Amino acid sequence: MNSQISYKITPSVRKKLAHPIGTLLEGTIEQNIQKVISWFNDHSILHPDIICVGDVVSHAFLTNPQLSACLKLCVVDEHTKRGKFEIKNAVSGFKIAKIKNPAGLIQAKAIELIKDTLRSNMKTMILVDGEEDLLVLPIILNSNPNTFVIYGQPPVTDLESSIPAGLVILAVTASTQTQVENLLDQFEKV
């Protein structure tokens, strides 16, 4: 991923990204927080490095003592489909960084901020003016192997087979990074 250019999503890639990259845990956020804890326990992962993308997911992890201790990065835009979502009150011990990233784009400046943040190893909350959803892609590409990226999955009903709402958990591996690189190759470069 070139941090000197921006990436604009195409309709064909948007359709592909409707499918989770990782393991979908179906259910409400309250149910899924318990499923995540069980998932880590079942896989004997005691102290995972976790990155959350999305307001509801980030808030749920920040307010859970067991999971918040493992958080390295949260990326939020303080909006949900239901409207404005204040998350700052849940943040303690995190550096706050702000970036503009319009809907449908991955801005070059956002890529650079993600790279710098992940290299710094400081607990950070990135507040996005615009849309944060697509930033999961440069996060996956620039994270260390065995980092866990977690994001919300809205229900999708306009595909051949519907996808239920839930939470996606993804272990960063060379394979998932290659999958993301292949998706980014299909974006329009701007």
The confidence score (pLDDT) of residue 32 equals 95
Which of the residues in the chain have pLDDT under 70? Answer: 80-91, 157-159
The confidence score (pLDDT) of residue 46 equals 87
The confidence score (pLDDT) of residue 88 equals 60
Q: Is 152 helix (H, G, I), strand (E, B) or coil?
A: strand
The confidence score (pLDDT) of residue 1 equals 80
Dihedral, CA of residue 61, residue 67, residue 69 and residue 71, to nearest 10? -60
Give the domain ranges of the chain.
Answer: 7-13+23-189
The confidence score (pLDDT) of residue 139 equals 98
* Maximum alpha-carbon separation in the chain: 44
The confidence score (pLDDT) of residue 79 equals 74
The confidence score (pLDDT) of residue 81 equals 67
The confidence score (pLDDT) of residue 13 equals 94
Of the candidates 146, 139, 117, which has an alpha carbon nearest to the alpha carbon of residue 47? 146
The confidence score (pLDDT) of residue 132 equals 94
HSE-up of 105 (CA within 13 Å, CB side)?
A: 17
Q: Using an 8 Å Cβ cutoff, are 114 and 126 in contact?
A: yes
Residue for token pair 């949260």: 74
The confidence score (pLDDT) of residue 101 equals 96
